[in-house]
Amino acid sequence: MRIYHLAAECYPVAKVGGLADVVGALPKYQNKLGMDAAVVLPFYDRKFTREHTFDTVFQASTLMGTRRLYFEVLKERDNILGFELYLIKIPGLLDREEVYMYPDEREQFIAFQIAFLDWISYSQQSPDVIHCHDHHVGLVPFLLNYSKLYTRLANTPTVFTIHNGQYHGVLGWDKVSYLPEIDMSKSGLLDWAGMINPLAAAVKCCWKYTTVSPSYLEELTINSNGLEYLFYLEKEKGSGIINGIDTEVWNPKTDPMIPAKFTPAKQEEGKQKNKQELCERFNLSPDKPLIAFIGRLVLEKGADMLPAAFMRSISEHKDKVNFLVLGAGDVNMELQLTLLKEADPEQYNVFIGYDEALAHIVYAGADFLLMPSRVEPCGLNQLYALRYGTVPVVRSTGGLKDTVIDFGDEGGYGIRFNNVNVDDICHSINRAIALYDNIPHLQLLRKRMMALDFSWDRSAKEYIHLYESLTPII
């Protein structure tokens, strides 16, 4: 089966969050299972593209409205990622450093989708499945069916995976002329609440959609930033497949980014060494429990709750706990978290910014990983934490609910709480501190969590079963 994964991010080419981790791993594991999965991304001017060799496999020009776009499709020469990687380059649009946040982001991703479809259409390819990830590529299922340019491909099965249903990529109808030769009698399929809504269009037009956890499939009908009714109507077409993790990249036994490697049997001393290095770097004491947060500093992640929760815990547990934050995002949250450092330099520290290697060291060296998410479609941080023997402290929502069992329940290993408020978070921190004092229990939980299997092997198979259930209409 020839599969094209289409997305805005893919680790290690361009990563902003978990979308990249999934797109960089799932195709590799599908190929191990005998698929022929490839990834198509916009070209970014980043470290990966500068340091690897690419061949031009296609060149053409196309129209986006009245704007002529010259594009080339570049293929990474050595297949070093475990799948074929194609990058679409368009001077001035798809050759930039950052993934998001450009004022013409809508044009950027529309151009990407048109160039992709032109390429597979004119080069006479017939993929078995086109698998689109998130709203940036949400117009593809519509265009395949309702643009006169791509009628040859109209029967191609499409799968759409929702990694984040909060963002829809909406654009005004004034931009409809960007979409090439579409059947305007079908324009209702593009519309939600008077706007062109790529996420809604994808859900309506794809053959099947998936969410990155079963609980999130349910939650979208209650909280999806205005698309609740659509998800209610289209529920039958959806399924929840929990993400896996790339156990080749995230392996404490071999991880080149962590100072001390460790196995489940030797986790005690390995984790302690990593903790020592981490604490030294951040001026914290390795003898206290270390509770960390890693992630985008946005409301979805509950990052706004951290300063008040940490302040209360620090005053309740003077000299008994340490906190460390690694994150970037909302400027005000960055400021609040930075100011907190001045208030308590001994029990708290923060690194504002994005640092992949530091994230690995935090997963390895922390005792607990706090995730007070308001919305968490899957969440990969808790899965990395589990693999590195770090107890996840999570709000019961989405994928966190599906992957973390509270240690108070049979077979459990984590800490769960229900509400995103300071009381619930501090109560969970209290439980974490108490657990840290009970060393045999903590050791038992660490062994238990490190033995869990959240590798892609299982989930990659689930996607393949889904593809196999899609039979093209002849």
Which residues contact ligand GLC by CB under 6 A?
17-19, 22, 163-164, 212, 243, 376-380, 399
Q: Which two tokens stand for residue 404?
A: 């973390």
Q: Which residues have C-beta within 8 Å of that of residue 287, sequence separation ≥ 6?
A: none
DSSP state of 136: G
* Nearest residue to ligand GLC on Cβ basis: 18
3-state secondary structure of 253: coil
Nearer to ligand GLC, 42 or 379 (CB): 379
Nearer to ligand GLC, 27 or 377 (CB): 377
Say which residue the tokens 């050595």 belong to.
Answer: 78
Nearer to ligand ADP, 89 or 387 (CB): 387
Write out the residues near ligand ADP by the rule CB under 6 A: 17-19, 21, 294-296, 326-328, 354-356, 359, 378-381
Q: How far is the CB of 215 from ligand GLC (least distance, A)?
A: 11
Q: How far is the CB of 380 from ligand ADP (least distance, A)?
A: 4
Q: How far is the CB of 323 from ligand ADP (least distance, A)?
A: 15
How many other β-carbons are positioned within 10 Å of the β-carbon of residue 167? 16
Pick from ligand ADP, ligand GLC, none: which does 176 bind, CB < 5 to 8 A by kind?
none
Pick from ligand GLC, ligand ADP, none: which does 212 bind, CB < 5 to 8 A by kind?
ligand GLC
Q: How far is the CB of 313 from ligand GLC (least distance, A)?
A: 25
Q: How far is the CB of 250 from ligand GLC (least distance, A)?
A: 13
Q: Which residues have C-beta within 8 Å of that of residue 235, sequence separation ≥ 6?
A: 217, 221
As a whole number of angstroms, the distance between CA 367 and CA 271 comes to 8
Q: Which two tokens stand for residue 12?
A: 């290690």
- Using a 10 angstrom Cβ sphere, with 0-12 exposed, 13-18 middle and 19 or more buried, the burial of residue 320 is middle
* Nearest residue to ligand ADP on Cβ basis: 18
Nearer to ligand GLC, 222 or 265 (CB): 222
Q: How far is the CB of 351 from ligand ADP (least distance, A)?
A: 8
Which DSSP string do the residues of 206-246 spell out, in sequence order? Answer: SSEEEESSHHHHHHTTT-STT-HHHHHHTGGGEEE----B-
Nearer to ligand GLC, 189 or 245 (CB): 245
Pick from ligand ADP, ligand GLC, none: which does 340 bind, CB < 5 to 8 A by kind?
none
Across 351-371, b (16+ Cβ under 10 Å) vs e yields: bbeeeeebbbbbbbbbbbbbb
Closest CA to 111 of 58, 183, 179, 11: 179
Nearer to ligand GLC, 25 or 182 (CB): 25
